[in-house]
Structure 1
Amino acid sequence: EAGEILVAVFTDPGWTPLMGRIGGVVTENGGVLCHAAVVSREYGIPAVLAIPDVTSRIKDGDEVLVDGTSGTVEVAPG
């Protein structure tokens, strides 16, 4: 869905078509030169990378706020 947050272990070029529609990216792996970081900057979407076990801590349907500037990810209680 447009505006949703992509939560993944990592991204690769196969994810690129989705990047124009999503609201942000959160990954378990990556750094400033990884695919998610480079493409996020190109599309102007927030990204927070290298969060251990994030795919098991954020569930489908969770309300998530991603702040790429501060490097924070907040999950709404519920």
Structure 2
Amino acid sequence: MGIAGLVTEVGGLMTHGAVIAREYGLPAVVGVPGATRLIPDGHHIRVHGTDGHIELLPTPERADGIDT
């Protein structure tokens, strides 16, 4: 499984991550303070690279009633 977008806590438009994201046509939002604290591991997000914001998506419930 690959990545569909990039979010970083530090950096700017000319950092390595942003340049690579541009090369591969991936949306990127860089310089998001506290991103690793605010986005739980495994949580699905939507990266709005053009607008520069991130959307936390609702956690889908599994058929067995356990949240993922």
Q: 2:23 aligns with which of 27, 30, 42?
A: 42
Greater helix fraction, Structure 1 or Structure 2: 1
RMSD of aligned C-alpha atoms?
Answer: 1.0
Q: Superposed, which structure 2 residues align to 1:1-78 within 5 Å?
A: 2=1, 21-78=2-59
Q: Give CA-to-partner distance per residue, 1:19-39, whole Å, 9 cap, x none.
A: xx2100000001011001100
Q: Give the gaps of 5 or more residues in structure 2.
A: 60-68
Q: Give the gaps of 5 or more residues in structure 1.
A: 3-20
Q: Could you tell me how far 1:63 is from its partner in structure 2? A: 1.6
Question: 1:65 is aligned with what amino acid?
Answer: R
Give the structure-1-normalised TM-score: 0.70
Question: 2:33 is aligned with what amino acid?
Answer: P
Aligned residues with identical type, % of pairs: 47
Q: Secondary structure at the match of 1:22?
A: coil
Inter-partner Cα distance in structure 1 for 2:26 and 2:42: 20
